[in-house]
Structure 1
Amino acid sequence: MNKYPIGVTPEARLNLIKKFDLSDTHHIDWEYIVADHSRLQEFIQSYKSFNWNVDEKYALMAIIVASYEDELQVCKEEKTIWNEIRSILITDLEIHIDTIIYWSLKEADLTSEEIEEGGFLITKRMIEVYEFCNILNLVGENRWDSYNS
């Protein structure tokens, strides 16, 4: 089990497949493939209700965020579910730093216009969380250096 996950572990993936009866056909980008906006509330309630380990929380949040991105395709102004997701991201910040960075596109070094044109629908919301939590100060500019040593 990782303290600060940076990817979905095989064990967490298998546990979530069993719990939610998810597809196990793809290993690469599995969390995006199994995302399902129609099950978003189920995923969120399960995240809150069960005693998941750190790796399972990371993997489940990856599914939740991808499912929310799909939801925004249907309802661009949705805010109620976002408030729940935002609250979880902030509460379990150390677990979800990588998820926030990925969806905020902060490491892509894009302009506001580039984000507007080619970013995810959730990107502006994730940027708000990134800035609210002051993530750059938490991880530093060279956050990958510790993984290379």
Structure 2
Amino acid sequence: MHYQIRYPTQFAIQTLAKRFDLPNTPTMQDWEYIVADSNRINEFLKAYIEEPLTEDEKFVLMEILIQSFDDSDRNLAQDIDWQCLLKLLENNMELHATTICYWACGNTAYDLCWRVTPYLRQIRIQNHLKTIE
């Protein structure tokens, strides 16, 4: 399956920064990774599931969530919240295709960029997922 590449929007960043009281300055590059916080995973996940968010906000919040999990000391293989996040990715493939492909990071077991990579790679491979310009 092929999907368009998606990028965080400034409006979604501003909205999420305000909603979660996160820093947001013009000099912050890769905002969604900088503001990730493993101590706030439950708060972010609950908001993703329960709050009325736009697609752009959900896209950016998912990036924050994945970075937060990657930064955490949680045992991902046994973490219920992580399993929930993976289901959200699979159930919202069109929205998160860019995210899945980014975090999947390459094609071989030797190209493991992050500890979340094997999980995202499995989703990408199982769904024959590709993004296009």
CA distance in 2, matches of 1:89, 1:55: 14
Out of 122, 126, 144, the residue aligned to residue 120 of structure 2 is 126
CA distance in 2, matches of 1:68, 1:23: 19
CA distance in 2, matches of 1:50, 1:5: 25
Q: Given that residues 5 and 98 in structure 1 are in contact (C-alpha distance below 8 angstroms), is that contact kept between their aligned partners in structure 2?
A: yes
**Shift, 1:27, TM fit:** 3.2
**Shift, 1:80, TM fit:** 1.5
TM-score by length of 2: 0.88
Q: Given that residues 58 and 96 in structure 1 are in contact (C-alpha distance below 8 angstroms), is that contact kept between their aligned partners in structure 2?
A: yes
C-alpha change, 1:105 and 1:12, in structure 2 (3 Å) is: same
**Structure number with bigger Rg:** 1
* Structure (1/2) with the larger strand percentage: 2
Q: Given that residues 4 and 95 in structure 1 are in contact (C-alpha distance below 8 angstroms), is that contact kept between their aligned partners in structure 2?
A: no
Deviations 1:28-51 (A, max 9, x none): 110000000000011000000011
One-letter amino acid of the structure 1 residue matched with residue 39 of structure 2: S
Matching of residue 75 in structure 1 with residue 64 in structure 2: no
Unaligned 5+ residue runs, structure 2? none
Unaligned 5+ residue runs, structure 1? 145-149
**Shift, 1:79, TM fit:** 2.6
Aligned length: 129
Matching of residue 135 in structure 1 with residue 129 in structure 2: yes
CA distance in 2, matches of 1:79, 1:58: 22
TM-score by length of 1: 0.79
Corresponding residue for 2:109? 112
CA distance in 2, matches of 1:48, 1:4: 24
CA distance in 2, matches of 1:124, 1:58: 20
C-alpha change, 1:39 and 1:5, in structure 2 (3 Å) is: farther
**Shift, 1:4, TM fit:** 5.5
Corresponding residue for 2:28? 27
CA distance in 1, matches of 2:91, 2:60: 16
